[in-house]
């Protein structure tokens, strides 16, 4: 699918598919033009592709429809037994296709992705990617690459030629059996333009009996652009929020609260009718999101079990813990409670962490400071005991309690010997901002 794509990157993709794929495995190449305005993508492109040695079909969208609907149009027109989706700024390598098709041949309910190598958007140099990362996501439902966990290494018994089971996919590059694509519900056509569709499909595949893998023997390069050369009708934030709201409502059950209270603006977005997608979930007898977190993504930033999700309010000052948008290795703050979630969202988990997304409250020495560090699941300096009667948050390693700020810095909570004073009392509140 392309919209105002550069001539060189588009043809680099097409040529690499044709030149580096065994032709008996290649039924056709379909280019879907999502209402490009550039002249060279009109008649000049049509005349050019006529001379290529594999059939190249160009489909034109009548109006700007976005990646999701354009891909659906291309998929409907395709004839091959397997559909491979690629972005329009890629370069396939020798041997990229065979491992993808071989895996689908073994199991038609496996959806497979290549390792995505990096093509510089400055020099267009090709740089090899890594087989040591896989796809995940954070509380804001942003796709993220994370290190492949030890449990997945153990499952593969050190054989790096075996596919990596990945909780989510980046979404731009993957292969799927065409019948399975239809059985599993293709894309959510109620989503607009781009964004969130990769997580929606990832959750759906896993929860409904399929599997999602990165095939380590397949490599495709991708130009990661610093800026998007196209617009989002209605604004980027609105479009992505709408799409993410749809996937949260259909697939995430009660765990959607993590998304809603860290991104409170989302609940104001009109996300349309999702009854058809909910019926699809029902008909496919899909598993709950708790199963997905337990079995497919136990390393998720979303804790499977937790005591509270919301603000942590000091009884004495009536102020709330606030990460103030701070990054790793910075002190946690304390601020007037605003009741809007966002920076004042913390979860007290069953593992006794106090976390917001992938950061945990951590105290490494007596009397503090309390800083935000990447959650390491090793307990240690990130282990907290909450006493629901005394309302104290005791840091187990130092045996000190979280206290109100000192006179020197009124924006940062302190650690002091536990005294049961009002300044050491904290209310952990469960919030929900969903409709």
Walking along the chain (435 residues) 10 residues at a time, the average pLDDT comes out as 94 96 96 94 95 93 89 95 96 97 97 95 88 92 92 91 95 95 92 84 97 96 76 65 92 93 86 94 97 94 91 94 82 90 92 93 88 88 94 94 88 91 92 59
CATH number at residue 410: 2.80.10.50
Which one-letter DSSP state was computed for residue 96?
S
Quick one: 201 and 335 in the same domain? no
Q: At what angle do helices 236-251 and 275-283 cross, to 10 degrees?
A: 40
> Is 297 inside a domain boundary?
no
> Is 387 inside a domain boundary?
yes
Instruction: Specify the pLDDT at position 433.
Output: 59
Instruction: Specify the pLDDT at position 435.
Output: 43
Closest CA to 413 of 317, 327, 337, 339: 317
> What is the pTM assigned to this prediction?
0.91
Which of the listed residues 203, 223, 243 is the one where a domain comes to its end? 223
Quick one: 91 and 200 in the same domain? yes
Please give the Cα distance from 374 to 38 (Å, whole number). 45
Cα dihedral across residues 205, 164, 1, 105: positive or negative: negative
Q: Token pair of 305, please? A: 């079990």
> Is 76 inside a domain boundary?
no
Give 254's strand partners: none
Quick one: 204 and 87 in the same domain? yes
Which one-letter DSSP state was computed for residue 306?
E
Cα dihedral across residues 346, 348, 349, 353: positive or negative: positive
Quick one: 112 and 211 in the same domain? yes
Please give the Cα distance from 55 to 62 (Å, whole number). 22
Please give the Cα distance from 85 to 100 (Å, whole number). 12
Query: Token match 């559909």: residue?
Result: 83
> In sequence order, what are the residues at sequence separation of 6 or more whose Cβ sits closer than 8 angstroms to the Cβ of residue 333?
321, 322, 323, 324, 326, 411, 412
Quick one: 216 and 327 in the same domain? no
Please give the Cα distance from 115 to 127 (Å, whole number). 12
Which one-letter DSSP state was computed for residue 293?
I
> Is 207 inside a domain boundary?
yes
CATH number at residue 103: 3.90.550.10
Please give the Cα distance from 210 to 214 (Å, whole number). 14
Please give the Cα distance from 277 to 100 (Å, whole number). 28
The H or E element spanning position 395 is: strand 392-395
Give 374's strand partners: 359
Instruction: Specify the pLDDT at position 339.
Output: 84
Please give the Cα distance from 157 to 274 (Å, whole number). 41
Which of the listed residues 198, 223, 248 is the one where a domain comes to its end? 223
Expressed as residue numbers, the domain containing 100 is 81-223
> Is 211 inside a domain boundary?
yes
> Is 63 inside a domain boundary?
no
Q: How many domains does the chain have?
A: 2
Burial of 288 (0-12, 13-18, 19+ CB in 10 A): middle
Quick one: 314 and 196 in the same domain? no
Which of the listed residues 182, 197, 223 is the one where a domain comes to its end? 223
> Is 50 inside a domain boundary?
no
Closest CA to 183 of 241, 124, 291, 109: 109
């Amino acid at each position: 699918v392309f919209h105002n794509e550069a001539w060189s990157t588009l043809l680099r993709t097409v040529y690499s598919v044709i030149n580096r794929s065994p032709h008996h495995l290649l039924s056709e190449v379909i280019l879907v033009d999502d209402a490009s305005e550039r002249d060279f993508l009109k008649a000049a492109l049509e005349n050019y592709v006529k001379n290529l040695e594999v059939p190249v079909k160009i489909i034109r969208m009548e109006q700007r429809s976005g990646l999701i609907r354009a891909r659906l149009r291309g998929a409907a027109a395709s004839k091959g037994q397997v559909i491979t989706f690629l972005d329009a700024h890629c370069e396939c390598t020798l041997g990229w296709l065979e491992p993808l098709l071989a895996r689908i041949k073994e199991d038609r309910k496996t959806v497979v992705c290549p390792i995505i190598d990096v093509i510089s958007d400055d020099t267009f140099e090709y740089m090899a990617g890594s087989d040591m990362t896989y796809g995940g996501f954070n509380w804001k439902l942003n796709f993220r690459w994370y290190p492949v966990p030890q449990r997945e290494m153990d499952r593969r018994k050190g054989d790096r030629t075996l596919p990596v089971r990945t909780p989510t996919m980046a979404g731009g590059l993957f292969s799927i059996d065409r019948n399975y694509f239809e059985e599993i519900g293709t894309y959510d056509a109620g989503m607009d333009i781009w964004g969130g569709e990769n997580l929606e499909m990832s959750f759906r595949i896993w929860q409904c009996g399929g599997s999602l893998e990165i095939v380590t023997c397949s490599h495709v390069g991708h130009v990661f652009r610093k800026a998007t050369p196209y617009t989002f009708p209605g604004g980027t934030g609105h479009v992505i929020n709408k799409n993410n709201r749809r996937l949260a409502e259909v697939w995430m059950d009660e765990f959607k609260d993590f998304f809603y209270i860290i991104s409170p603006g989302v609940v104001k977005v009109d996300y349309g009718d999702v009854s058809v997608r909910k019926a699809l979930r029902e008909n496919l007898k899909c598993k709950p999101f708790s199963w997905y977190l337990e079995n497919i993504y136990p390393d998720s930033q979303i804790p499977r079990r937790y005591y509270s999700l919301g603000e942590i309010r000091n009884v004495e000052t009536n102020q709330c813990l606030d990460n103030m948008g701070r990054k790793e290795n910075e002190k946690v703050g304390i601020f007037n409670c605003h009741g809007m979630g966002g920076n004042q969202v913390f979860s007290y988990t069953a593992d006794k962490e106090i976390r917001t997304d992938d950061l945990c409250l951590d105290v490494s020495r007596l009397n503090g400071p309390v800083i935000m560090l990447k959650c390491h699941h090793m307990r240690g300096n990130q282990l907290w005991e909450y006493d629901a009667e005394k309302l104290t948050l005791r840091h187990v390693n130092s045996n000190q309690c979280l206290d109100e700020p000192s006179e020197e810095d009124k924006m940062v909570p302190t650690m002091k010997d536990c005294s049961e004073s009002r300044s050491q009392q904290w209310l952990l509140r469960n919030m929900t901002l969903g409709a």
